[in-house]
Structure 1
Amino acid sequence: MTGWDCSPEELKWITQWQYVNGVNRMCQHLQSYSIRGCRKRDFPPSLFYQQSWWEEYKIFCDYIARLGVLLTEGLSAAEVLLLHPMHSAWMLYDGKEEGPVVEFGNKFESLSQTLSDYHIEHHYGDEDIIKKYGKIGNGKFIVGQCEYRTVILPDMLCIEDSTVKLLLQFVENGGHVFSVGSFPKYIQGGKNSLLDELYQKIEKIDVVSLKEKLWKILEFPISVTENGSEVVNIHYQLRKCGEMKILYLVNLNRNGNYSILLQCPGENEITEYKVEEDAKQKCCCIYGDKVTKLQIKMNEMEGKVFFIKERENKKDEDLEDNKEIYREKETIVLEQGGSWKLDWADWNSYTLDRCSYRIGDGEWKDEVNTIQIMEILLKQKRPVNVSLKYKFVVETEPQLLEEMFLAAETGKELHAEINGVKLELEECGWWKDKSFRKYRILPYIRRGSNEIILNIDFYQSKKVYDVLFGENVLETEINKLTYNTEIESVYLIGKFGVYNRNGFTYAWRKGLSCDSQFVIRQLPDTLYGDDFTSQGFCFFAGRLRIKQNIFICPWDDSRGVKIEKIAGKRYIYRFNRPNAMTAILYINGKLVKQFMWAPFECDVTDYLKDGVNEFMWELFASNRNLLGPHHHIDGELYAVWPASFTDTPTVFLADDRNVWSDLYHFVKFGM
């Protein structure tokens, strides 16, 4: 998943999938020193200062750092080894046709996924590693430091002689070997009677039945169910750390919550480790039939860590005390809704990504997307002077806008003509990225149609042309090419709103689209719903604050007596997932909590007072609506690369469509 709207929650979702499957060292992609020129389109996002939420990024980094450290503690407790059929794939591949190998690989991947779905934690068994480090001891199949009670054979065409001998020894010592696919026909590419002997000593079984078998075989099997069925979207990793076990549960579902029943053998004390808060909380378990049960709510894309150790005090009265301590208190739920007052906002923005152009003193050409001009000029293979003409409409008196700047990736001085006035604009700082230089233009703006002409000397070194148009040039040379001059979109920034005259159409994945009829007006005073994009913030990429009053009645109507809130009850504030990278809640001027991911609720009792309470949110927008891609026919994409911003078919997919759309595609930003 890539793109400027990839949120910390989605990054966490990706991270958790990797972590639950054994990865515990994260190398994040990427932090761009600058997003000048084509860099802003090179597999975004850049997780650096160009993001409105850069200073909040530490929360995400601390989370994955703590989790990474935790998942290196002790040893993996997986008790199942799934042999990897790599040698079978080698036997199938003839150097030409990949189909049979791909099919074989898909079967193995499907089996591994199904095992995880049924909460059978497993490792892959590489036969070369097994040959070097494998042995049998204490009735277990041992590879290095890992010990397995069960070995599973997937679909296999061939198997190593050394593996077969170890498996036979394993079975003779009480081990369990199951085959859930086609049994291998060859040993190291040839027939061998050892296969017949092994076949007689293993059990053929399907994956569903295997779960029930393993519950009796494994030392510490885990069950994760809802309404009696295994929850396939929740996977886990179990680690042994001395006398304690670390259980890491992950909900891989992006859109679904679960109320699960966790079951593990024995009577255990379970403590939840809250990674984000770096805090622990004892859990209220149910015991019986030598099984520990724990009811857990798993929000979408949520991960949870539990410490499990054998329960020391097993008296029934202690259990009752435990229940009393953790009995859920009565709560009053405050739901989000209504309108919001706009309290404050970073400068708004308007991306001007289309312009007409002329080379030298030639004729003006029709409007094109600005980044297409770069390719046109490169084909000249020489230095040229180019003029770019941008147009926009202002439907209010300019003096009411307070400030307006032009941000462009140009030099310190900008040769421009604004509404017929020729100017040499002086840089006055930068915005968003250090290459986005800022120029004050409000004095030259008028109500109605406006026109800005930029005059640029386009120059490239000889090396650029040699690489782009030379023969036998490696792709690596093109990828590391640095241009002297780049032609990019420009941006209007300031205290204004950007609206579309003809409205918006809503689409999938928070998407909305419109035509090119944008107008500049004053910012709105009030905002509604979960989509502020269409309410004046089409290209917004900063932070804003919104306020709303909630009235807490200080009277208990049943008795007519004034009380302190409602005695003994807690107030829970519940809201939908914000359409923002992150959101910070303040109540009556006090910081309550920052939200990057689910759950989207919190206890606000201690922040409330009788009467009017001011709820304020600070929302952080992504760079998606500022930087695009704005014109892909599929709207908002799950994967974004340079071709997503152009009409060029991508080399990564079998897709030869012209993917360009003249419509503008945005995503929702709001509460």
Structure 2
Amino acid sequence: MKIENNDKLFQQWLNPSVQFRGKPFWSWNGKLEKEELLYQIDVMKEMGMGGFFMHSRTGLETEYLGEEWFELINACADYADEIGLEAWIYDEDRWPSGLAGGIVSKHPEYRQKAILLEIDPEGEGSNVIAEYQCDLDGAVCTNLGSGKQKIRFSVIEQGKCGFYNGYTYIDTMNRGATEAFLQCTHEKYAQKCGDRLGKSIKGIFTDEPHRGALLDGFSMYMENGEMTAPYTQKLFEEFEARFGYDLKPKLPELFLQVDGKRISPVKWHFVELLQQLFLENYAMPCQKWCEAHNLVLTGHVLHEDNLTVQTAMSGSVMRYYEHMTAPGIDILGEENLCYWVVKQLSSATRQTGQTQLLSELYGCTGWQMPFAGHKAVGDWQTLLGINFRCQHLSWYTMRGEAKRDYPASILHQSPWYKDYGHVEDYFARFGLIMTQGEPVCDLLVINPVESLWAQVHLGWSKALNLQDEHLKTLEVNYQTLFTWLLESQVDFDYGDEAMLAQMGKVDEGRLQVGCAKYKTVLISGVETIRSSTLELLDQFVAAGGHVVIAGSAPTHVDALESSRFNPESSKFQTVPFTKPSVLAAVPTALATVDAPDVFGQLRKVNGGLVFAALNVDRSERRKSVTVRIQTELPIVEWDCVSGEVLSVITKREGDWQVFETDFPVGGQKLWVANAESQQVDRPALGLLEDEKFTISLNHSFDYMLSEPNVCVLDFAAYQMDGGEWQNEAEVLKVDQQIRDAHGIMRRGGQMLQPWFVAQNPVKELCDLALRYTFEVETLPEWIDLVIEEPENFTVELNGKPIGLSDSKRWIDIAFHRIRIPEGRLQLGSNEIILKTRYTENSNVEAVYLLGEFGVKLNGIQRTIVPIATKLEVGDLCEQGFPFYSGAVTYQLPLPKAANRIRLPEVSGACVKVNGQVIGWDPFEADVSGTSVDVEVILTRRNTFGPLHDAVEKRPRNWPQNWITEGEEFEENPVLHPSGLLAAPMIQCI
């Protein structure tokens, strides 16, 4: 692998193609206009993106799958192709995929159903399958057939809801439902988009299909869901055909622990049947249709984070990946460190030969997430194989409820969008390199998910939270083993037992699974193992292969008790479940880092090596770390941020090269060893010690703002039909009160889609007046009012009307900025009154004031005060900018001989030092001269909230967090600190 400037790979590295650049979910969530859509495509290109998924979301007003919808799909695909981006479609109105916005589940035979267990039921019931007498103690069932308690099994249908546009989710195990879905959605795209499919329309995203929750209660709108198991019309017929016995008499054994027995073949067979029916009747037809139309099929199934949620919702996600062109996962939140999910995906795709691995990431992270968060969430996924990032979410508009659909919006609404290329260049380079060559991976770990299958029972899991203490140990050990291996830089793949049966064979002393081969197999946490797996492993050991059991051996084969794993007679090596014992038994890592919380991946590339390492700890730096790579080839470091190649000074220890390096907080390093590696003069620099920075800049600074300051008015009194004024309340709760008073569904993530509501005459509910108040201490030179939907409102300020026809855009097409006429504002109290004819599609939202002023807070009262003349080190919220969310440039004087600056604590998305973007630690840059401009680019968190959520550090931001109650509600604005929170430090020559 040459890296001279004329080398093809190096040129790709300097400017990676769209293939390795992010393709966000582009949320089509309002009244779509072609001109605005094309403008936003240009913005995505400016941000360094590689394309987009056109995705219907909450708030869509343009009719889904209507004529205008397809005209806009085609226009966007054509324009993307013209400017070199990839256009992708999405196969559903919102999610999960399969119901075509409710069109399919209008038909009762296609709706999702379940088997319900009732204990001591009353009445005769309906759709009854069977009834039994027994004695129950929790989930333990004794005296079956003769006990004192009655249990009944019957079939029920999922409840209808607004999220499914008034219907239900579909039965994905019913081939007829899937065919109806393909006819309603995919065939329409084929008809309306023509030869664009497979060309300017690259592929299609299928999102979160599932077969229903298993004794968990998560399944949306399934009454008594924790007492249900998935059902389809041919369930009992297929069960008997595939497993040779009737399931109906065994239903107590499926739902309960008969005579206290934990592991049951009935449970194991049932989950296996659900898996097969899901794949055969949903996954495979979708795959076949996309292949026939030259479309890349990507997306992910519902819930992958651990073995529990997979068992609850789909079985084994690894088996679904085979039926997608570019299979993917979904990682929600910023702190969701379920590393093994990516490893399951990369394992399955390496075995099946797929090369594009997608992750839908950044969802639920909130406006406040900085570039460092974007890097941290994406880093470990890219390290483990993700090379297709789908950012969640980029909004078409922020109108109404759309603005609470899992922000931040990764588009022009965020103040940092023009600098996002810093993030995209980094990941495009990292992803490019991690697709080169082959991983050094000789270890296969048997995935123990089927051991959970065989132990499900009433109460085993609740809303995807595991309750069974025995199974908790299995989950913990599963995750512990992953960590032991990866932090020791021992790469491995997971092996799904059904895939082993389908693709496994022994070849020249190695275990081959599809396209991958392994020298060692590790069994750990497996309590029941397939007989087909044992037969394959016996062949492997007979051919000289190595099988290791870490901890307890399986006690069951095919979910039946077995003494097959007798330590005295077994040819498999047995070791304790301890880190040293496991590492001594598995293949030795050929590249290591002697530091905690550092994961590594080694790849063979054209006779050389690529070693990537990542400090997954976002709180600690790793200094003076020793790196060892078994190679005699020269080593250089490739910097994914700058694109530079840096020299590395090593020393030889036998076959190894050894060198020291530093890892910043969350730091990533990439080393290339190749005979033709270019030697460069600039060395890879370590982190500067704190004592090198001797001067603290802790005083007042001149500053500049990139946008006017903002005052959020989000409390209002209201009046319906000229009646009494109701007391001030948070405006979203005002909206709820109006809807409740008229018996109309509340807005929120589960609301009916506006396009669906508009298919019938929209109900008019009342004449509504809203009164927003604020104080003015000093009159600013000018002030603007920002509102949504000016076409639907009249506005008065202090009793006088304000014209709304002359407005400018602010942040988003939803926000209309109107200059308040001179003389309308007054010292002391001011009130804004908005009036409208309120309908079931109306929105009650906050309004905003813009101008060159400061803002003082006193509870819900907002006061306009003089703007600060200088800024101090510390929170901008305390200096008159509580709601400000643009960028602020601090003009810092420099002492003589200053040559480097460190910013110890910054709160914002990123910073620029004299125009140089610094997205993450270390926040350091070279400086010179008598001054330096430090620009802190903030986030929209303190403008758009949630501003009244009293729960500190929520791990994820859901739409409902914007409307909290009780102890979770805080009347005073809940703000995030912003700006330079600690004094900049200067190093001098």
Report the TM-score range of the alignment, normalised by the length of the smaller protein: 0.7 to 0.9
Q: Counterpart in 2 of 1:124?
A: 494
Once the two structures are superposed, residues 292-316 of structure 1 have per-residue CA deviations (whole angstroms, 9 ceiling, x without a partner) of 2121211112222221347999xxx
Q: Is contact 2:891-2:932 (8 Å) kept?
A: yes
- The equivalent of 2:376 in structure 1 is 13
**Residue 633 of structure 1 aligns to which amino acid in structure 2?**
A
Contact in 2 for aligned 1:75/1:239 (Cα 8 Å)? yes
**Superposed displacement of residue 375, structure 1:** 1.7
Are the aligned partners of 2:444 and 2:494 in contact in 1 as well (CA < 8 Å)?
yes
- Structure 1 position 194, deviation (Å): 5.1
Aligned residue for 2:438? 75
2:618 aligned residue: 254
Query: How far, CA to CA, are the matches of 1:92 and 1:374 in structure 2?
Result: 46
User: CA separation in 2, counterparts of 1:337 and 1:526?
Assistant: 14
- What residue in structure 2 maps to residue 225 of structure 1? 594
How much has 1:336 moved relative to structure 2?
5.4
In structure 1, the residue corresponding to 2:969 is in which secondary structure?
A: coil
> Are positions 1:383 and 2:765 aligned together?
yes
Q: 1:332-379: CA deviations, max 9, x gaps?
A: 647552232113441111110001111121111111111112222223
What's the secondary structure of 2:441's corresponding residue? coil
For residues 546 and 602 of structure 1, do their structure 2 counterparts lie closer, same or farther at Cα, with a shift above 3 Å needed?
A: closer
Counterpart in the other structure of 1:535: 879
Q: Distance in 2 between matches of 1:256 and 1:328?
A: 15
Q: Which residue does 1:22 correspond to in 2?
A: 385
Q: Within 2, Cα distance between the matches of 1:518 and 1:136?
A: 73
1:286-435 aligned within 5 A: 286-309=651-674, 333=693, 337-339=697-699, 340-379=701-740, 380=742, 382-396=764-778, 398=779, 401-412=780-791, 414-435=793-814
Q: Which residue in 2 is equivalent to 1:206?
A: 577
1:552 match: secondary structure: coil
User: Does structure 1 residue 50 correspond to structure 2 residue 407?
Assistant: no
**TM-score using structure 2 length:** 0.56
Q: Is the 8 A contact 2:446 2:524 kept in 1?
A: yes
- In structure 1, the residue corresponding to 2:790 is in which secondary structure? coil
- Name the SS for the 1:665 alignment partner: coil
Q: 1:266 offset after TM fit, Å?
A: 4.0
Letter in 2 for 1:429: K
Q: Which amino acid is 1:521 matched to?
A: V
Change (3 A) 1:336 1:360: farther
Asked if 1:276 is matched to 2:633, the reply is no
Secondary structure at 1:534 match in 2: helix
Q: Which amino acid aligns with 1:659?
A: E
1:659 to 962, 968, 972: 968
CA contact (8 A) 1:413 1:427 kept: no
Structure that is richer in strand per residue: 1
- Is 2:951 the counterpart of 1:643? no
Distance 2:571 2:709 in 1: 73
Does the 8 Å CA contact 1:178/1:205 hold for their aligned counterparts? no
**Deviation at residue 413 of structure 1 after TM alignment:** 7.7
1:488 aligns with 2:845: yes
CA change 1:55–1:96 in 2 (3 A) is: same
Matching residue within 427, 431, 443 for 1:64: 427
- Write the distance in 2 (CA, Å) between the matches of 1:80 and 1:273: 28
Distance in 2 (alpha carbons) for counterparts of 1:61 and 1:411 = 37
Q: Which amino acid aligns with 1:362?
A: G
In structure 2, the gaps of 5 or more residues are 1-332, 334-364, 462-467, 745-763, 981-989
1:453 partner amino acid:
I
The 1-side partners of 2:644 and 2:684 are apart by 16
Q: Give the aligned CA root-mean-square deviation in angstroms.
A: 2.8
Counterparts in 2 of 1:439-478, with a 5 A limit?
439-441=818-820, 443=822, 444-460=824-840
> How far is the alpha carbon of 1:619 from its aligned partner?
2.0
Change (3 A) 1:312 1:594: closer
Note if contact 2:715-2:860 (Cα within 8 Å) is conserved in structure 1: no
Distance 1:389 1:366 in 2: 10
Q: In the alignment, residue 893 of structure 2 is paired with which amino acid?
A: N
Report if aligned partners of 2:792, 2:836 keep a CA contact under 8 Å in 1: no
Structure-2 change in CA distance of 1:323 and 1:277 (3 Å): closer
Inter-CA distance 455–617: structure 2 relative to 1 (3 Å threshold) = same
User: What's the counterpart of residue 568 of structure 1?
Assistant: none
Corresponding residue number in structure 1 for 2:555: 185
**C-alpha displacement at 1:453, in angstroms?**
1.3
Aligned-pair distance for 1:82?
A: 1.1
1:183 deviates by 0.4
Matched, 1:437 2:816: yes
Contact 1:93 1:101 in 2 (8 A): no
Q: Specify every segment of 5 or more residues in structure 1 that has no aligned partner in the other structure, as ranges.
A: 314-320, 461-482, 502-514, 554-564, 566-570, 649-656
CA contact (8 A) 1:51 1:622 kept: yes
The match for 2:537 is 167
- For 2:891 and 2:600, how far apart are their aligned partners in 1? 40
Q: How far, CA to CA, are the matches of 1:192 and 1:371 in structure 2?
A: 60
Aligned residue type for 2:521: V
SS of the residue aligned with 1:545?
Answer: strand
1:146 pairs, out of 513, 516, 525, with: 516
* 8 A Cα contact 2:591 2:602, kept in partner: no
Match of 2:912 among 557, 578, 584: 584
SS of 1:26's partner is strand
Greater alpha carbon shift after TM alignment, 614-623 vs 20-29: 20-29
Aligned pair count?
583
Q: Quote the Cα distance in structure 2 between the aligned partners of 1:391 and 1:329.
A: 52
Letter in 1 for 2:668: G
Where 2:554 maps in the other structure, the secondary structure is coil
Partners of 2:674 and 2:569 lie apart in 1 by: 38
What residue in structure 1 maps to residue 349 of structure 2?
none
What does residue 650 of structure 2 align with?
A: 285
Q: Alpha-carbon deviation of 1:238? A: 1.9
- Distance verdict in 2 for CA 1:644–1:324, change over 3 Å: closer
Shift of 1:322: 10
Amino acid of the structure 2 residue aligned with 1:643: Q
Matched, 1:86 2:403: no
- 2:608 pairs with 1:244: yes
In structure 2, do the counterparts of structure 1 residues 105 and 305 end up closer, same or farther at CA, with 3 Å as the change threshold? same
| Counterpart Cα distance in 2 of 1:376 and 1:628 | 21
Moved over 6 A (4+): 310-313, 321-332
Report the Cα distance in structure 2 between the residues aligned to 1:415 and 1:324, rounded to whole angstroms.
64
User: RCO (CA 8 Å, sep 6+): is it higher in 1 or 2?
Assistant: 1
Alignment of 1:614-625 (within 5 A): 614-625=931-942
Per-residue deviation, 1:290: 3.0
**Given the superposition, is the C-alpha separation of residues 91 and 328 from structure 1 closer, same or farther in structure 2, using an over 3 Å criterion?**
closer
How far apart are residue 634 of structure 1 and its match? 1.6
| 1:13 Cα offset (Å) | 0.6
| Secondary structure of the corresponding residue to residue 954 of structure 2 | coil
The separation in 1 between residues aligned to 2:871 and 2:418, in whole angstroms, is 26
Answer whether contact 1:413 1:424 (CA < 8 A) is retained. Answer: no
Whether contact under 8 Å (1:349, 1:492) holds in the other structure is: yes
What amino acid is aligned across from residue 920 of structure 2 in structure 1?
Answer: W
Bigger drift between 524-533 and 114-123 goes to 114-123
Aligned residue in 2 for 1:523 = 867
Whether the aligned pair in 2 keeps the contact of 1:413 and 1:426 (CA below 8 Å) is: no
Per the TM alignment, residue 222 of structure 1 is displaced from its structure 2 partner at its CA by 3.1
